[in-house]
Structures are given as C-alpha cells and as structure tokens.
Amino acid sequence: MSITRCSHHGRRLKSENDHLICKQAAAQKATVTTVPAILCTKGLPGVIREQHSKLGSVFTLSALGIKACAHFFHATESEISIGDVYKMTVPIFGKGVGYDVDNDTRNEQHRFFADALRPAKLRSYVAPMLREVEEYFAKWGQCGTVDLKQEMDTVLMLMASRCLLGEEVRDHMHGEVSSLLHDLTGGLHLASMFFPYLPTPAHRRRDKARARLEEIFSGIVRSRRSSGRAGDDLLQVLIDSRYKKDGRATTEAEITGLLVALLFAGHHTSSTAAAWTVARLLRHGEWLRAATEEQRRLRLRPPPQGQGDYDGVLRMDEALRLHPVTPVILRRARRAFTVETEEGGEYEVPEGRMLATPLVVINMLPGVYRDPEAFDPDRFAHGRAEDKAAGALAYTSFGAGKHACMGEGYAYLQIKVILSHLLTNFELHLVSPFPETDNMISMRPKGEVMVRYTRRRLLE
C-alpha cells in the first residue's frame, strides 16, 4: 500500500479513514491547545475521554493507544523523556535526587529503592505492618462510623513510618513528620505543574516543610552513623547505599530527598487504591462475601507474604482498572518517531510533543475487557486473564517498561494486610453513596467515604 501524507500535518496516511481522523484532529486543534484551561472544568480524564471518542486511539494530544505505547514505555530517556515532565517535583523531593539529576544518577538512586523493596526485604516488613494494623484498629470501638479514606491515609502513614522512615520517626515524631509531608504534597496543585516556583502560600509552606524534614532526617542519619545503631527500614538501606560510579555514600540531603520521593510515590497511591478497593467490595455484596469467606478460610497468620496466595489481589487489580490512581502517564518526545495506530495507519509524533498514555481510556476499552464498566475481578483470574490476552501493555495501572512501579509488591502487601484484618474482624457497610472520582488531577474518591463497622465475634 502506498503511503501518502496528510495535507494538514504531514503525517503518513494509509487510508481515507486515516485522513478523516487527521482532519478531525485539525478541527480539534483549538481544544487541544487549551487543555490546561478545560482541565479545570472537565478534569483530565474528561478531556482525554472526550478527545479519544472523537478522534480515535491516536490524536493530536498524542495520547497513545495500547498498540502505540510500546515505544512510550520502552524507549530510552534520550528518545522519550520522563524527566522533562516531572520537573515540578524538584522543589518537593529537593536538589540532587529524582528529576533534578541526570539519568545515570537517577538510575543509581532507583537501585537503592529496588534494594529496599526486594522480596526478601518485603518479608521483613510483614511483622511491623501487622503490628501497626492491629494496634490501629484495636482503637475502633464495638461499632461506629468512619471516613474510610481518612482511615486508610492514617493507617498507611503509620505503616510507612515504621517500615520506611524508621523507629525514631514512628515513636517520637510521627505527628510532626506526617503534617510536614502533608504540607509538602499540598504544594503540588494545578498551577505548580506549570509554575513550580510561584511564591504562593502553598509553595511557601512546601518549602518550609522540606527544610524542616531535612533537618529532622539529617539529625537521625547523623545519630545512626555516630552510634552505629542500624534500623531494619528503608532509611537504613539509603544510609548504607553507595554510588557505583565513584563509591561515595549518600548525603543527608539525598537521603531526605529519596525518602520523600518514595513516600510521595507510594502513600497517596496506596491509600487511594485501598479506599477504592474497599468501596468496590462494599458496593458489590457478592464479592464482599467471597473475600470475607476467603479470609476466614485462610486466617492468614502471618499475613500473605507472596502474591499468589491470596485472590484479594484480583479485587485490587479490578478496582485499579476502574479507578487507576494515575489517570494518564506522561512523557515528552525528545526525538520524532512513528507509531502504528489501531486503525491501521501510521502517525508521526514530532519532536518535543507531550505524550500521554491514558489509563482512563485504555482500562475501559471494550475490545480488551468484556463489559468494561462492570466490577468483575474474575476477569483477571487464570483462564480469563483479559488483561494479558490483549498484550503485555493492556493493563498498566502500575506503569510498565523502564519506569514501571517499583513499589507494586510493597503496595499489595500493605493493602492485603489491612484488608485481611478488616474483613476478618469487622462487618462493614458503605453508608454514604458510592463515591465519584475527584476528577481533577487526582483520582481519589470524592468527598467522604463513610463506612459503618461492627466488630465480629471471632471464633477461634
């Protein structure tokens, strides 16, 4: 088939239909160029969904469908950059870490994370996680009503404090550190994406919080180094880490930055995933009964350590399919490249173009998922595996390729520990309406997620 070029964009076209898509894309140009403005009214998922249904799987925003996103996930940093789109995190994580450093240094720092999140290390987090969960829910009464979103935030922060930040923080400064982290993340709003250094009150609070956190963690690092006392936590892994290129140890500022970066990547995401998973289970009684039965049967003591021993994983996968924590994964094209569209055409993405893999669309494609709006965890089960049937990149709620989530195992573990405890020990009912999605940039449940609990009488 001969390849012609579109008169509007110069893209290579394979069919008349492709040309039509291209013309539609031209007609939509005004909408596309004002994306930041309509974000405020429709939210990111709304914008992406609208463009996707109008223009097909590849359109002017360069939102990539499943077929086209292999290059997106596997290309090198010099071809498709993640660093270019996450610069706004620099004032949060701090200088010398994350997206402030060159790609090689960032890879070394990710190796430190990988050490702290490897399976053997995860097993050592089980007992402290269990302890935190038991202590926390022991404070609930015989019955009551709570905001599940708030509860998940709090218990997950306690678990992170114990397993990641270390005992000094957990036992003596948990309140202060949590509130500083809150100010730090509060410093990331829509305006910060474009102007991260604008002197807004939220940015000023962010900078103050970042400075105080560095003071706190530097003190702890110095004290551990001088006393020789070691913890069994992420902090210790970071203290012991050495850069391969020159053998130097991590500095106190880097350790603070890396701790913040990991909490930033892991806390909000896990708490959102946990809240949606429980809300979904409470809405779909048959799945709640199945999950509770399963937990009664397993009576996991110690709680699940691997991923294969507990079907609850399927429920979280399905909750994350319907409510992906990251609505779109973003990159910037540093070099032009060509992708094949699902419509059978070819599409040239120019250098400099912002790229998006829209999970809110991909996770709901009817060609991939049967009855995509339905909550049906069995679609992930062995035998059906709808996510895998459509290829390795059909389900990317944890990202994929070069920047796939490093904390997936940790996230599953902590949420399984919480769910296992909740389902075994409490009867739960959703008393507020099933939540909508916040729908701006965050995919958190909107408003309160009120749940009534009654403590079960456990039969030993």
The residue ranges that bind ligand HEM (CB under 6 A) are 82, 110, 113, 262, 265-266, 269-270, 273, 320, 325-326, 329, 397-399, 403, 405-407, 410-411
Closer to ligand HEM at the Cβ: 55 or 396? 396
Closer to ligand HEM at the Cβ: 304 or 407? 407
Distance CA 102, CA 124 (A): 32
Contacts of 302 (CB under 8 A, 6+ apart): 126, 127, 130
Smallest distance, Å, CB 94 to ligand HEM? 15
The two three-digit tokens of residue 292, written as one number: 């509770």
Smallest distance, Å, CB 325 to ligand HEM? 4
Distance CA 111, CA 105 (A): 10
Closer to ligand HEM at the Cβ: 21 or 411? 411
Residue 460 CA: distances (Å) to CA of 296, 423, 424, 456, 457? 11, 16, 12, 12, 9
Smallest distance, Å, CB 305 to ligand HEM? 16
The answer to whether 223 and 261 have CB atoms below 8 angstroms apart is no
CA dihedral 339, 405, 96, 192 (to 10 degrees): 70
Closer to ligand HEM at the Cβ: 60 or 397? 397
Distance CA 327, CA 44 (A): 7
Closer to ligand HEM at the Cβ: 313 or 428? 313
Q: Is 69 known to sit in a ligand binding site?
A: no
- Which one, of 393, 342, 336, lies nearest residue 80 by Cα? 336
Distance CA 216, CA 194 (A): 30
Smallest distance, Å, CB 2 to ligand HEM? 37
The answer to whether 258 and 113 have CB atoms below 8 angstroms apart is yes
Smallest distance, Å, CB 59 to ligand HEM? 20
Distance CA 140, CA 155 (A): 12
Give the strand pairing for 12-13 and 354-358: unpaired
Taking residue 175's Cβ as centre, other Cβ atoms within 10 Å add up to 8
Closer to ligand HEM at the Cβ: 13 or 116? 116
Closer to ligand HEM at the Cβ: 72 or 426? 72
Amino acid identity for residue 43 in this structure = G
Smallest distance, Å, CB 402 to ligand HEM? 6
Question: Residue with structure tokens 């360069």?
Answer: 62
The two three-digit tokens of residue 352, written as one number: 């400099």
Residue nearest to ligand HEM (CB): 407
Smallest distance, Å, CB 378 to ligand HEM? 20
The two three-digit tokens of residue 458, written as one number: 């456990």
Residues annotated in a binding site for heme = 405
Residues annotated in a binding site = 405
